Structure 1
Amino acid sequence: DLAIGTQEQWLENYEKYGLEPQTEILGRLVGYFHTDFAELNQVVHMWAYESLEDRRARRKKLFEDPRWLEFLPRVRPLILKQESKMLIPANFSPIR
């Protein structure tokens, strides 16, 4: 969740400073979304990994990247709450 009225600021900063290092290092961006009604001020992004260990290794590398470390102080004050989930696709899921 983001502070009220900061969603556009988040998206602008992410596109300018965070998107490139994250996509280069984390790999497959499945989708990046923001809320428009109901629960407002949220950004949701989904990434695909080969395994939990693949995710750990990629995130470790991300947090060593100077571009990512430059991005974080720009957006940290905007974040009220962060939530992470590991989603396992069902056998019939079109996203694998």
Structure 2
Amino acid sequence: MIVEERNYLVKAGTAAKYAQLWAEHGREPQVRILGNLLGFYVTEVGELNTLVYLWGYEGPDDRARRRAELAADPDFATFRAEVRDLLVRQSNRILTPALP
């Protein structure tokens, strides 16, 4: 299993709005297509106004297939358009097990 950590820095004061839009419009297509949501968090210490998603995948090929399907989904495209103006920066990391 691999875990993808996706961090979204949003404009100051908009994290709650982003989270609400995600709950209303983004969660359903993401969970339907990506499947394994391990967590959705907001930072309280460190770089504030950051939302963090953790997604689990069987491996790199599973991730690539699911992300491509999500990118083509019209419901998810609607959500992306709703939050685009809130975003400042995005960063992603792929985490692999430290021990077998």
* TM-score normalised by L of structure 2: 0.87
Give structure 1 stretches of 5+ with no counterpart: none
Partner of 1:39: 47
Partner of 2:21: 13
Q: Distance in 2 between matches of 1:53 and 1:60?
A: 11
Partner of 1:30: 38
RMSD between superposed Cα atoms in Å: 1.1
Q: Distance in 1 between matches of 2:91 and 2:47?
A: 14
Identity of aligned residues (%): 37
Structure with the larger RCO, 1 or 2 (CA within 8 Å, 6+ apart): 2
Partner of 2:65: 57
Q: Distance in 1 between matches of 2:55 and 2:65?
A: 14
Please, which of 81, 90, 99 is the counterpart of residue 82 of structure 1?
90
* TM-score normalised by L of structure 1: 0.91
**Any idea what the Cα deviations from partners look like across 1:45-71, whole Å, max 9, x if unmatched?**
100101111111001100111110110
More strand by share: 2
For 2:36, the aligned partner's letter is: R
Over 4 Å off, 4+ runs: none
For 1:89, the aligned partner's letter is: P
Give structure 2 stretches of 5+ with no counterpart: 1-8
